[in-house]
Amino acid sequence: MSGETASRLAARIRAEGPMPLAEFMGEAVAAYYRRERVFGAEGDFVTAPEISQIFGELVGIWFALRWHAAGRPERFPLVECGPGRGTLIADALRAARSVPGFAKAIELHLIETSPTLRAAQAEALAGFPASWHDGLETLPEGPLFLIANEFLDALPVAQVVFRGGAWRERRVGLFREDFAFVDGAEAAPPAAMLSRLPPPREGEILETAAAAEDFVARVAARIAAAGGAALFFDYGHAESGFGDTVQAVSRHRYVPPLAAPGEVDLTAHVDFARMAEAAQAHGAAAFGPADQGVWLVAMGLPTRLTVLLRGATPEQTEALVSSTRRLTEPHAMGRLFKALALLPVSAQPPEGF
C-alpha cells in the first residue's frame, strides 16, 4: 500500500472497521482528480474528446440543434459536468461559432471539483467566459442544457453479494496490509432492480449507483420543470445485470481496483437502464442508450472527417482515420460507450437517437 489517501483510508478502517465501498471510492476519486497528469498519452487514460476533435464538435452541433429547437433564445445556459482538461468544450465552442448567433448566446457553466482541472479548463477556454460550480445546486434557475462525458462512471457505487440465501453489503477492510473486500451486514438491493433479474446464485454481486442515479434524477427534474436537454456519454450496459464492474486504470493498464486509492483512475460501468428509469421517474423523457459509434455516424462524423481530410498530409490522414475508427468501431469504443439523452417529456427523439 502506498500514498497519502491509502494511509488515511487504512487508518480509518483500523479505527472504525471495514468501510462501505461507495465511501472508499468517493474518497479515492476525489483525491485522484486533484493530481496532475491524469489524461492523455502521458497520463492514465484517454477519453473520446482527447482522441478526436470531431467528438466535441458534434456535441457542439447537437446543442446548436437544441438551441434552434428552443427558438434560438438570446441566453443559452450550457453546463458541462466533469470537463477534464476542457478539450470537449473547446471543440464544441469552435463548432458553435459556425452556427450564426449560437456561440454568443452560450452562458457557460462548468461543474468541476478539482482545482487542478479547473485551471486546465480555464486555459483550454482561451478567454471564453465561464463560471465554475461544485455541483448542480448553484446553477442559475431556468432551462438546463447539460453535457457530461465520462462523469457518471466516476461517481461512487455500492455493491452487495449474495451469500447463504441473503444479500450482504460489500465493504472494504484490511487483510494484513492490503485493502480487501469483506462481507458486511445484510442489505436489501432495490426491488425494482431484482424484479428484472434471474434468481441470484451464491456469490453473485449486484452494483448500485445511488450517486449517479441521484445526479441524473436531479437533472431530469430540472429539465421536466424548466426545459432543456442533457446528453450523457459513458461506458456501460444498456440493461441491468449482476456483476462487479469496478475497475482501476493506471498508465493505460488495468490494475487491482482497491490497491492504490487516489493514485489510479477508479470507476464503474454505468447501468444505463437505471439512469433512464431515474430520469423518467422524475418527469423527463429518456432516449437511448445509443451506441457511441452509431450516434457519431448519425450526427455526421463521416462528413466532418471528409472535410478534415482535405489537404491533410499522409501522417495527418492516418491519425484522423485511426482516431475516428477508435471512437466508432464496435470492438474499440463504438459499442461499449453509449449516449443517453434527456428531454422534456413531450419531445421527439433528438438527432442521433
* Pairing mode of beta strands 144-149, 158-163: unpaired
Smaller CB separation from ligand SAH, 148 or 285: 148
The site for ligand SAH (CB under 6 A) is made up of 29, 33, 39, 47, 49-50, 82-84, 88, 111-114, 117, 149-151, 154
Where does 200-243 show beta strands of DSSP type E?
205-208, 228-237
How near is the Cβ of 43 to ligand SAH at its closest, in Å? 10
Smaller CB separation from ligand SAH, 67 or 151: 151
How near is the Cβ of 112 to ligand SAH at its closest, in Å? 5
Smaller CB separation from ligand SAH, 149 or 328: 149
Helix/strand/coil for 244:
coil
Residue located via cell numbers 438551441: 67
How near is the Cβ of 215 to ligand SAH at its closest, in Å? 9
On whether the CB atoms of residues 122 and 87 are closer than 8 A, the answer is no
Smaller CB separation from ligand SAH, 29 or 158: 29
Smaller CB separation from ligand SAH, 49 or 228: 49
Rounded distance between C-alpha atoms, residue 252 and residue 46, angstroms: 8
Rounded distance between C-alpha atoms, residue 89 and residue 309, angstroms: 23
Smaller CB separation from ligand SAH, 151 or 162: 151
Where does 193-282 show beta strands of DSSP type E?
205-208, 228-237, 247-250, 253-255, 265-267, 270-271
How near is the Cβ of 88 to ligand SAH at its closest, in Å? 6
Amino acid at 250: S
How near is the Cβ of 189 to ligand SAH at its closest, in Å? 23
Smaller CB separation from ligand SAH, 111 or 206: 111
Rounded distance between C-alpha atoms, residue 121 and residue 188, angstroms: 41
How near is the Cβ of 262 to ligand SAH at its closest, in Å? 13
Residue of this chain nearest to ligand SAH (CB atom)? 82
How near is the Cβ of 152 to ligand SAH at its closest, in Å? 9
Q: Write out the H or E segment, with its range, that includes residue 342.
A: strand 337-344
Smaller CB separation from ligand SAH, 159 or 292: 292
Compute the half-sphere exposure of residue 11: CA atoms within 13 Å on the CB side of its CA: 7
**Residue 42 CB neighbours (<10 A):** 8
Smaller CB separation from ligand SAH, 29 or 106: 29
Residue located via cell numbers 493505460: 252
How near is the Cβ of 17 to ligand SAH at its closest, in Å? 25
How near is the Cβ of 47 to ligand SAH at its closest, in Å? 3
Distances (CA, A) of 90 to 83, 87, 252, 299: 10, 5, 24, 18
Tally of residues, the chain? 353
Residues 6+ apart with CB under 8 A from 307: none
